[in-house]
Each structure stands twice: as C-alpha cells, then as structure tokens.
Structure 1
Amino acid sequence: MNTGTLLALAIALVALACCSAVLLAYGRHSRRQLEARLKRLDSQLGELSAKVALQEPSFSLPLPWTSWTLSASCLLRIRESFAKRTIRTVVECGAGISTLHLARFLAPGGGRLVSLEDDEVWAAAVRRMVEKEGLAEIVTVLHRPLVEHRVLGHSVRWYDVRSPRDLGLDTIDLILV
C-alpha cells in the first residue's frame, strides 16, 4: 500500500468518526455502541499510521499484510525496542513481510534473523524476496514442518526444532511467535 492510499484510508476513517458523532447527536445509536465504534476506528487509524511509518524504506516487492502478519503497530514497537536494546539474534516463527522489516531493523547492528516457515513453497518465496532485497547476509529462512511435540502432557504441533543449535545458533536474544 503506498502512502497516498494510506492517507486516503486515514481520511476515510476520520470521516467515519465524524459520522459516528452525528449519529450520536441524533440518538440513533447508544453511547456505548458509538464508543466501541470509535475505539475500533482509533485502532485502525493507529495501524494505518504504523504502516505509513514502516514505508521507509520501502521494499521492491509487494508483500501482503494478512491475518498471519505481525501488525504494523507491533512491528513499529519492535523497531523502537531494537533501538533501545542490544538485540542481535532473533528467531521468527513464520516468514513474510515481517521478515524483511526485522532484517532491516537488525542490519545496523550486524544482527542475524532466522525465520522458521512450515510451508516449503512460501519459505522458498520469502528466500527469494530476502535475496532480492539484499538481506541474505542477515536472514536465513528455514523450512521447518510442524510436528507433534509433548508439552506438559499435551500434544501440540510446532516447528521441528529442539534447540538453538538446530538453527545454527548458540544463543537467541528474541523469539517472535
């Protein structure tokens, strides 16, 4: 999404907020309903603002923001956290647009990102994106299928990784799930 589109969406959200205020004035909706709507609009506007902030630097390939993607506001908070702390080694569970952003956040400090992906085709696609963006020195995208693990007596499906050494790492500073 380009900045112009995001700006148009932000203007539309503000217009919706104004319409909500008018509806309140005419008593068509309860105060509680309008407060809930305004809260949702505020959240959406925050997400749009975060996407605008993450547009620099932009990537040469369009990547989808899906329901599986870390939200733009979450990525923005992670970027702020990286600026305040020494985080050099990150493991990400699930690859995509967040992989490219995380790599850019880690690049100035010489960090490393290992991204786990259970879908082999998507892992290969993300690897190509990483290479095209010139981030292959920082990012390793690994195909790791989901397998059954026993945790506290329960069976759960999770990435086929037993220790950091399985990922070629000695230590991990941050794991993003």
Structure 2
Amino acid sequence: MFLVTTSHRPSQRLRSFVKDLTLVLPGSVRVTRGKRRLLDLAYLALLLKKKYLVVAANKKGNPAVIHVYVVHYDAEGKVAASRYFDVLLGGVRLSREGGAKLTTPITSYSSVDESNCSSSKCLELAGLLMSLLRDFINKSSAFKISLHDEGGNVTVKILSRNGDVVGPVLKVRGFKTYGEQG
C-alpha cells in the first residue's frame, strides 16, 4: 500500500525515522531515495503495486514533514504522483529512543482512537488516518493508533493491546490536504 522513502540528502535520524515508519505503516516497503526523482519513485511504486508514496523530509537533521502522494495514471495515461497531504511535525521520538521497539511490521490496527481529542485539528487528523488506513482496520488487531491534544500539537502514538507505546511517537504541528484520495 505504501512506498516509503526520504528526501534527498537525509540525516541519520531521518533514515531511522523512515525505518520506523515502514514498520508501522501496514503493507509498506522502504526504498533508498538516492538520485531518484519523484516520477521515478512513482514508477517504482506502481511496479511494486503500491498506491501511496510517502516521502519524509528533514530540517536541521530532524524529521520535519511527511509528504503523502497518490500514485496513479493521469488523463493521458502517464504515471503521475499527486500530492494528497502533508503532515508538519513538531517533534518525533524514535522507537530506539524509548518505548518498545518493533521487531516485525504491523499488519493491521484495531482502531484509530480519537477519544482524547478536544480540538478540530486532532479530529480531522484522526479522520485522515482512518481514510488512509481503512483497508487495515481489523478489530482483532493487537495495535491501535491513539491521538490526543498536547500544547497546540496533536500527539500520535501506537499502542499495543496492553497499552505500551510501540514505534515512533509523533507530535503533529499541523497538516495540509491537497486533493482527493484517488
């Protein structure tokens, strides 16, 4: 479902973040960006039968934004990658920096828990995650995504069945949607 990569010239912290993202996004494959252009990545995503292209970028060495593109054929039958949304990060705690480290990729989530959301930004982000992961929601899954408001940011955590945090913890400053999911 997802082809995950970095922007050009990633920091070590961004590469670690992309490894974490690959483990928590069901059906994802991580590729090294190298000198590949966005169009090259779109072709690769179609070749690997992935619908979304996820590109993480850094600022001053830290993960700063996640760009999500929908890979499709345009009206002329050419491969295209249309920007779906961007997630602006205010901070990231990598799995190696605390919490339980994942050893196998997550294949599904039981829910996207928005019960601790008090802002419209938090609720909108929960809805966006639900639409993105709708094919991977399975009530019997051992993991859930939990969102809550914290000082103007939305904190996104992945919790195991017993409530332990696994994978990275994201502090989302904001997000911007560009179009339909396709």
Please classify the TM superposition score into its range, dividing by the shorter chain length.
0.3 to 0.5
- Bigger radius of gyration among the two: 1
Which structure: greater helix fraction? 1
**Relative contact order (alpha carbons < 8 A, sep ≥ 6): 1 or 2 greater?**
2
TM-score by length of 2: 0.33
